[in-house]
Amino acid sequence: MGSGAGIFYGVGVGPGQAKMLPVAAFEALQKADVIIAPRARSSDFSIARQCLVDLELDESRFREVIFNMDPEREQIDSHYADMAQSIVQDLKNGKTVAYLTIGDSLTYSTYSYLLSAIQEIFPGLAYRTFPGITSYAAAASMVDFPLGQGKERMLILPCPDDVLQLKREIETHDIVVLMKIGKRFADVISLLQEMRIEKHCALVSRLGLSGEVVHSSLSDILQTETLGYLTTMLIRKTALKEKV
């Protein structure tokens, strides 16, 4: 690392509620000269930045950037390479830079792409990654949904296009955390109803944000319900045993 270069921090915030981040991560943000708050191209504001409201961080240190969720890996690599160049320039100028990401820093996060891109052009990078609260941990807390008891097996799964594959995954695991459901929502609900397990499954969308949706059971949910990207479903193959 070059003399006087800054440190790069990856900080998990949220996943929607304000102030949901570790104390160590907050202390790192207080030291940062630049705080990068990614904003989805389709959004009017940065959700990651909203997670830090009322924490008295200097507003002048925030820098919003548009992030690209293009499914093509080549486009993703190009996007983060460009962002990495800008960050590396700040680091070489001695600035400490923090990058915010919703939920946990290394769980389906844009941060992993960015970190790789920075390391490629700045191999001597000094950095630290702070863990954050995952969407499914926050959702489970909201609806009192145990994520595994005893030797139960849990699978964290981006929703597959093939509903039969999802059925096999549910049948071979005790709990499935389903993410990135999108347009497959109606098919997933139909499957859970077909398997007769919808009553002991749960769903949380936009947790802590405007338009928050919380279902502790999916018995009465409508297949036509419109839910966005920030949706997590908790699927339990068999109901919890009642306490005696």
Return the axis-axis angle of helices 110-121 and 73-92, rounded to nearest 10°. Answer: 60
232 and 172 fall within a common domain: yes
Structural domain including 158 reads 135-236
In a domain, 69, yes or no: yes
pLDDT tens per residue across span 36-77: 999 877 777 888 988 998 899 999 999 998 876 655 566 677
Q: What is the DSSP string of 21-46?
A: S-HHHHHHHHH-SEEEEEEETT-SS-
My answer on whether 120 and 208 are in the same domain is no
Complete edge-to-edge strand list for the sheet that includes strand 213-215: 154-158, 175-179, 231-236, 202-205, 213-215
Please indicate, yes or no, whether residues 30 and 103 belong to a single structural domain of this protein.
yes
Same domain, 157 and 218: yes
- Residue ending a domain, among 130, 151, 185, is 130
Q: Whole-prediction pTM value?
A: 0.87
User: What confidence score (pLDDT) does residue 206 get?
Assistant: 87
| pLDDT over 70 at 3, yes or no | no
Residues 51, 68, single domain; the answer is: yes
Together in a domain, 64 and 11: yes
In a domain, 2, yes or no: no
Q: Has residue 244 been placed in a domain?
A: no
Model confidence over 179-217: pLDDT tens digits?
A: 999 889 999 999 999 999 999 999 999 888 888 899 999
Q: How crowded is residue 103: how many other Cβ atoms within 10 Å of its Cβ?
A: 28
Phi, psi (degrees; rounded to nearest 5) at 77: -60, -40
pLDDT for res 72: 59
Reported as a pLDDT band with limits 50, 70 and 90, residue 127 is very high
Given 108, 130, 152, the domain boundary residue is: 130
78 lies in the same domain as 176 = no
Q: Per the domain annotation, does 177 fall within a domain?
A: yes
Task: Output the domain CATH number for residue 211.
Answer: 3.30.950.10
The verdict on 160 and 216 lying in the same domain is yes
1 within domain boundaries: no
Residue 25 phi, psi dihedral angles, 5° rounding: -70, -40
Query: Which CATH number characterizes residue 86's domain?
Result: 3.40.1010.10
Do residues 52 and 152 both lie within one domain? no
The answer to whether position 26 is within a domain reads yes
27 within domain boundaries? yes
Same domain, yes or no: 104 and 182:
no
Domain count, the chain: 2
Where does a domain end: 130, 155, 185?
A: 130
The answer to whether residues 67 and 146 belong to one domain is no
Query: Same domain for 114 and 49?
Result: yes
53 falls within a domain: yes
